[in-house]
Structures are given as C-alpha cells and as structure tokens.
Structure 1
C-alpha cells in the first residue's frame, strides 16, 4: 500500500507542501552545487554561521547539527539554475521559525516521493533554501535528517545526493513489511471488534480521495496514516515506528523508473484499502489474508 488548510496532509502548514490542485512540489534542477550566498556577497541570517562565515552569529534560534567543516562551508552553487520565486498572487504563507525545520522536512519528503528530487542528483542547502524562502540552515538540518533515514547522502563541499535504488531493494522492503504487518493484522482481525474497524472508514475514504487527485505525495501520506491506524491497535509503538519507517522508504522513487505512479494505479491501491477494511469489519479471515498478501505483493 502506498502511501491532506491550514494543516496539510503532512502534519504542518507552510512552504513547499504540494498543491492539492496540481499535485506538484517544484524543486529546481541542480546539475552541480555552489554557494549562492557567498557568490552574491550576501549572508542570510542563520545560514552565515552554519556555513562558517567569519564574524557571523547564527540567528535561526536553533543550532545546526554538528557536521564536518568541509560539508558546511563548500556548497558551491555557481552552476545551479536560478530558482523562480512564487508570484505575488500565490505568495508563500508565513512560516513560524519554531516549526520551519519541520515544514521544510515535510516539503522535502513530499518532493522526494513525488519525484521532484531525482535519484542520483545533488542538491545544495543554499539553493533549496532560496526556493523555500528560508536560510540554508533549516534546509541543511532537514537534509541531515533525510540522510539519517537513508534517503540522501552527504556529498562534501557540494550538498546532498538523493540515493539511487533499484527494484530489488523495493522487493526486499515489501517482503519485510509483509513479514511484520500481515501476522499482526491477522491477529487483530480475530480480536478487534467490528465496530472498532468501522471507525477507520474515514481513513480508508481519505486514501480514495487522495488517489483521485493523482498526487503520489498526497496519497503516500494518507496510505501511511491508514496503515499506522491499523497497526496502532496492537498497542506496540515500536512496531508502528518500525513499520512506518519501512513504509516510507518503500515510497521513494526508483532510479531510471517513472517518477510517479499513474492515477489508475493509486485508485486501484486505495480500492484495496476499502476491500480490506470491509473484510475486517466482517471478520472474514480468509479474505483478509488473501487481500493482505496480494496488497503487499503489489506494493
């Protein structure tokens, strides 16, 4: 299963979240990296200290994670394409500094799932920061989190490269998810009352609505929410956290593959959610087991 105001499907408001009408998150093509701030002779608040500019103190309100000096000073961006800013009629919402890092992380995750961040491409924090209208510091912090999750890797003096992965890794993730989730769901199917399953219908319906938009990033989030809600009934937070991490990784794009799944694929996937929930409500264990195995086999 794949994976919305003032609050988005990603749990935050603010910049970079995909437009539900268009289903896109625009991230500039960046063949190489460079230091935009230094080249222009302008030091942005918070970014100067993170980049090691002398005499500048960080004003972002949060200290950047400790990384190597070469990684934070040399993000050269002289050859990167300029990033267009939003037009006045679609200006960015005001971002609260306390939550800016989380909003940028949500936006980058959405861009990754939507295929806006290309596998193998290198992206620099200053240029992405310009795109989002913030300093390089929260972008770098968000990218460091993505590096911990395995979505990107640090490229010294340049920025962050999106990981390249093939169909074998995707199949391995699907197998592990099935080994974890199928037995748990079958156990829950035998013990959870039908009325409790019926309470999850709004989440199942949300995946259907998200699929109809044709936006993979929006669908991916609703898909994970549905799976988390089912697994949460087991009362094991470690299980939920582990399964959600595997689920998120399974949504990253493949190298050389299509950036997004088509609307028809998403609609079909969401329909499986509906069928599964109906079988759980009816406590039809053979159908539940069959649907689960088919669902993970096609993940």
Structure 2
C-alpha cells in the first residue's frame, strides 16, 4: 500500500481514539440516546387527550395519557430524578413506579433501561433501580461543560440570518411560566429541558443536541422544590422568555450573557446541597 494510505489510516485511528476519550469524559455513554433526536423530529408536541397542557405534578402521579407510554414515563422519571423527588440510595421497584404512573410495567421498564443507558439510574436485578449519586465535583464538571456548549450554541442561534422560527420555543416559554405559577415542579423541569434543546436544535446539529440533553439529565436541581410558589420561581421561569427575546432580536452577546447567568443558578440557589 502507498505510504499515504497508512498515514491516513493512522490519523483516522488517532482521531477516533481522541473522540472516544472526549466522549468518556462526560461521565456516561452516548449510546442509547436516540430517543430525543427522534422525538424532536417525529413526535412534535402532541397534547394529552382532552388537554392542551403538559401533565401537572398531580397528574404525573396519575395515569399516563400520551400516545407513547415509554416516552412519557421516561420524561416524568427524568424530571423527578433531576428535581430530587426520586431519592439517591433508595431502592424503587418497577411495580411501585408503574402503579404511580397508572401503566403496566413494560413501558416503565423500557423507560428505565433508557435512563440507565444515560447514567441516571442503576438497575438492580429482580428488585428495581436506584438513582445514581452525583458528587459536588461531578456537578461542577457538568456545569462547566454545559457552559462551554450551551452559551456559545445559544449565541450562534441568535447570530443566524435569518433568525429561525421560534414559535415552538415561545410556546414552551409560556408553558414553563404557567408551570411555575401553578407550583408544578415536574412539568417545570420537563419543559425546561424541552425548551433549551429546542433552541439549540435550531442549529441543526443533532449530536450537539443529544450531548446537551444528556448533560442536562445528569444535573441535580434539589433547590427548586423549596422555591415553589415564590417570586424566585417565577423569575427563573421568566429568564427563558428573556433569552428567547434576545435570540429573536439577533443579539448574540446578550443571549450569551443571559444563558450564562441562567446556567449559573445550577450550582447556586437551584442546587440546595444535600
């Protein structure tokens, strides 16, 4: 073979090994995260039967009503893990969670396998699952990476010409402010995830969107619970509207400033160390 062939092969191998090292630094595998990329393209945001809003905190403990029970179960469980409603160290049974969500064990089991692939939980064979513990150092590293990714990505959306259609993101801003007003933490967290990923998704880079989604899922925002029904909760919700307004105005610098301020809450009053 020509020498150039072997040089290119060695270079490709080196780049692949570097990419794998970078991926492993995020603390969990990117395998098994097809869910969000597919959902952004095919699911849209179909309302629940007989309702135009997302499930409330009470409804999240009642029967699921969306078309995909597995996706719905994953969405609810993910929000409850991030918000601290599902506690670290406690063993939860699939039957217990299925009963709370009013569905059969099968979609719950499938949802849990997805969350396990993303490092949010660990499965205990024939017994159930436990929420993965995150140390303060883990959370500091996560926030640092999120700052590196989400701040410039959001600013890049604002710098797009023309500015992309933001109707879906604006609708999510209204939903999250409504959830804050109702004191609905589970919906607040679920819509918060949807909103940020929808905004970054305007760049058309599904790998970036999946990576940011996975990092967000590993965050722990235990301080939000005590903030329910307080002005701080409403202010936190309204920050999303300010960010989207800056994007719509094409102000990349202001967008970057607002997103950085927003993410700084993760290790501030949103964290409430346990």
**Interval containing the TM-score (normalised by the shorter chain):** 0.5 to 0.7
Q: CA deviation at 1:218?
A: 0.6
Matched, 1:262 2:231: no
Matched, 1:273 2:273: no
**Contact 2:75–2:190, Cα closer than 8 Å, also in 1:** no
| SS of residue in 2 equivalent to 1:122 | coil
Structure 2 residue runs of 5 or longer lacking an equivalent are 1-43, 267-274
- Which of 252, 257, 261 is 1:290 aligned to? 257
Matched, 1:120 2:86: no
Matching of residues 1-299 of structure 1 within 5 Å: 13=48, 20=56, 23=58, 25-26=60-61, 92=63, 99-194=68-163, 196-197=165-166, 200-250=169-219, 252=220, 261-263=227-229, 264-299=231-266
| SS of residue in 2 equivalent to 1:105 | helix
TM-score by length of 1: 0.61
The 1:12–1:161 alpha-carbon spacing in structure 2 relative to 1, beyond 3 Å, is farther
**Contact 1:181–1:243, Cα closer than 8 Å, also in 2:** yes
The 1:132–1:164 alpha-carbon spacing in structure 2 relative to 1, beyond 3 Å, is same
**Contact 2:120–2:132, Cα closer than 8 Å, also in 1:** yes
| SS of residue in 2 equivalent to 1:276 | helix
Structure 1 residue runs of 5 or longer lacking an equivalent are 1-8, 27-85, 87-91
| SS of residue in 2 equivalent to 1:109 | helix
Structure of higher CA gyration radius: 1
More helix by share: 2
Whole-angstrom CA distance in 2 between matches of 1:259 and 1:103: 22
**Contact 1:216–1:260, Cα closer than 8 Å, also in 2:** no
Q: How many residues align?
A: 219
Whole-angstrom CA distance in 1 between matches of 2:202 and 2:258: 19
Whole-angstrom CA distance in 2 between matches of 1:170 and 1:105: 22
